[in-house]
Amino acid sequence: MGLASRLRALARLGGEGARVPERKSTGGSLVFGGGSPDAAFWSERSYAALSRAGFQQNPVVYRCVRLIAETASAVPPLLYEGNWEIETHPILDLLRRPNPAQDGPGFLEGLCGYLLLSGTAHVEAVSLGGQPRQLHALRPDRVRVICAADGWPQAVEYRAGSAVRRLPLEADEGMAPVLAIRLFHPLGEGEGFAPLQAAQTALDLHNAATRWNKALLDNSARPSGALVYQAGDGGNLSADQFDRLKAELESGYAGAARAGRPMLLEGGLDWKSMALCPRDMDFIEARNGAARDIATAFGVPPMLLGIPGDATYANLAEANRALYRLTVLPLLARLLGALGDWLAEGFDPGRRLRLGFDADRIEGLSAEREALWARLGAASFLDEDEKREAVGYGPRRRGT
């Protein structure tokens, strides 16, 4: 069985390794597979642990988060009142420069990153004269949600060092000092469910295959094999000898960190290598399969990450459009919608203001826009105003 098959078998068991019954064979051989002795190891599910194991140590997670966050932050936010765009407003000025340390794209990129890695993003507004003057994205591992007696979130505690601040999520009048944006969580009310949590099994498989391969290369890439006991008088190992040898194998040679470690054999013991080739060990396929699962959880077409074996999209342009339509734009609409409603309460509560974007201005979707314009241009049964309405524009203003 290749490494990929063994890893998938462990994953299907829910983290518990298959325990092989002990049997002392009279054939005088002891097979040493070099795997984990008891159970698979799964990383923690906290934000800090997943961020370290995923974003900081796994190139697939790093690229998925950066690709989504950078693509979303590059789309300029627009302010609308009804169906009309407002070109100048304090909300737009605040989003262009949310705080002295960040510009608009950097603020949105960090907000997207927190949402993808933790499932929840909190934004604090620093107000002056009743209107917000600065926006700050709060680090998820420093935020603790406080729920009321009925179970609904009512405030957050933000801890930085020894300082703790309590910030309410609702205000009796005007905008609340903190905005909470959460991805859907089927079992949580005050927290969101991050894509990285759904991809944790694939993340651990990918990291484990990488560590195993690295450890094997560090130990001269020697594969597993079998220990054969050849006694001079034809006898077998005693029970104590068998248990001691098994314990030494597990403590000194089992696990990814000890893969391929040379063995020192006593009299009567002989090592028979199984000589597994790299194709049988299946490291590359195990890593690629886990990488595809990670990309799927984040909604990134594997083709954009250079992962082989995925033929869902005909070319890179089609995969790039799928990234925009299926992942980036829904996430951006969620963020801008929440920010727009929240900031409107602080600036113009009586106006129907909303934040959004114009998909026609996105360069990555230019092929779709050109195809739509070509179809409308050839539609002789539509007048000019109807064609403008079909592409999202209002009727042309004519002089009186």
Candidate from 28-32, 49-53, 304-308, 330-334 with smallest mean pLDDT: 28-32
Confidence of residue 44 (pLDDT cuts 50, 70, 90): low
Q: List pLDDT tens digits, range 267-282.
A: 566 666 655 555 555 6
With respect to residue 392, please indicate whether it lies within any of the assigned structural domains.
yes
What's the pLDDT band for 364 if we cut at 50, 70, 90?
Answer: confident
Q: What is the DSSP letter of 354?
A: E
Q: What angle do CA 140, 141, 147 make, to 5 degrees?
A: 75
Tokens (6 digits) for 81: 């009142």
Residue 221's pLDDT is: 52
Count the neighbouring beta carbons within 10 Å of the beta carbon of residue 38: 11
For residue 108, count other CB atoms closer than 10 A to its CB.
25
CA dihedral for 358, 359, 362, 363, sign (positive or negative): negative
Question: How sure is the predictor about 18, in pLDDT bands with cuts at 50, 70 and 90?
Answer: very low
Q: Average pLDDT, stretch 57-70?
A: 94
In a domain, 230, yes or no: no
Q: Which of 174, 198, 222 is the last residue of a domain?
A: 198
Task: Tell me the mean pLDDT in the region 96-108.
Answer: 94
Of the residues 151, 180, 198, which one is the last residue of a structural domain?
198
User: 386 lies in a domain?
Assistant: yes
Whether the predicted pLDDT of 52 surpasses 70: yes
215 pLDDT tier (thresholds 50, 70, 90): confident
Give me the residue label for tokens 């000898």: 241
What's the whole-model pTM score? 0.72
Rounded to an integer, what distance in angstroms lies between the CA atom of residue 44 and that of residue 293?
Answer: 19
pLDDT per residue as tens digits for the range 291-318: 999 999 999 998 888 887 766 667 888 8
Cβ density class 332-342: b for 16+ within 10 Å, e for less = beebbebbbeb
Query: Does residue 45 belong to any structural domain of this protein?
Result: no
> SS3 helix, strand, coil % of the chain, rounded to 5?
45, 15, 40
More reliable by pLDDT, 106 or 1:
106
Higher pLDDT, 282 or 8: 282
Nearest partner of 99 among 68, 127, 69, judged by Cα = 127
Q: Give the separation between CA 286 and CA 304, rounded to whole angstroms.
A: 19
| Span 158-180, pLDDT tens digits | 998 888 999 888 887 778 899 99
Do β-strands 353-356 and 143-147 pair in parallel, antiparallel, or remain unpaired?
unpaired
Q: How far apart are CA 295 and CA 65, in angstroms?
A: 10
Q: Based on the number of CB atoms within 10 Å of its own CB, is 77 exposed (0-12), middle (13-18) or buried (19 or more)?
A: buried
Instruction: Let me know if residue 381 belongs to a domain.
Output: yes
Final residue of a domain: which of 198, 217, 234? 198
Please answer whether residues 175 and 346 qualify as being in contact, where contact means their C-beta atoms are separated by less than 8 angstroms: yes
Rounded distance, CA 207 to CA 287, Å?
8
Instruction: Judge whether 177 lies within some domain.
Output: yes
pLDDT band at residue 262 under the 50/70/90 scheme: low
| Predicted confidence (pLDDT) at residue 400 exceeds the cutoff of 80 | no
Find the mean pLDDT for residues 361-373: 74
The residues, ordered by sequence, that sit 6+ positions from 222 with a Cβ below 8 Å of its Cβ are 216, 260, 262, 273
Domain count, the chain: 2
Answer whether residue 179 is part of any domain.
yes
Domain that holds residue 133: 89-198
Q: Is 275 inside a domain boundary?
A: no
